[in-house]
Structure 1
């Protein structure tokens, strides 16, 4: 995996403005912002896997909430599958069930279908407050 591969396949217009390993906030909103963040995380995760000393489980929360461009959704899921879900390490990947059809190797993953949130709103807010203060 090279940074250029990520730039080409993800197709974010903002990636050209970001220096690799320059950890700054990505400004803006919308799917282009999501694609930019996803590309950065894909590259960094692969570097940790390929060159890191330690083995870590990775987690990716759903990066697609209400995207209407199905072509963009298809590309981003293909890249996640290619660069992250193909890793032989423990990966937690959360997405809405309707997006599972964008994964071509779904039968090789252990899928857990949640019918309700794992945390009550009160517990979520308490944990969020702890994380945000550190």
Structure 2
């Protein structure tokens, strides 16, 4: 029952009922990536390309699509990684979960969200203060 309610009322936990029905009616499974995401291709769009979509395994996060599948999803190639011996280039990094809003989020030096005391301005710059 919980899974059914998640499909009805949320879009970020896998696929909705609408997506499930569309996939069942029109989707042709093209492949699956190492994270468990499943990729589909469907009928032609109004601009002459086949519709492509992904059903995420678990939480829907666009950055969880590996580089090879990203190229296929965005029509940079017509050959999906599952149909070729795709190997990511050495500079293509594996997926790292988005840490925004967590204690592990990136907080650069000087950020108001960073811990510690901000360094005093040095050099030829003087910060404006009211009354000067």
> Is the TM-score greater than 0.5?
no
**TM superposition score category, shorter chain reference:** under 0.3
Give TM-score scaled by structure 1 length: 0.22
Structure number with larger C-alpha Rg: 2
Give TM-score scaled by structure 2 length: 0.22
Higher strand fraction: Structure 1 or Structure 2? Answer: 2
Larger RCO of the pair (alpha carbons < 8 Å, separation 6+):
1
Higher helix fraction: Structure 1 or Structure 2? Answer: 1
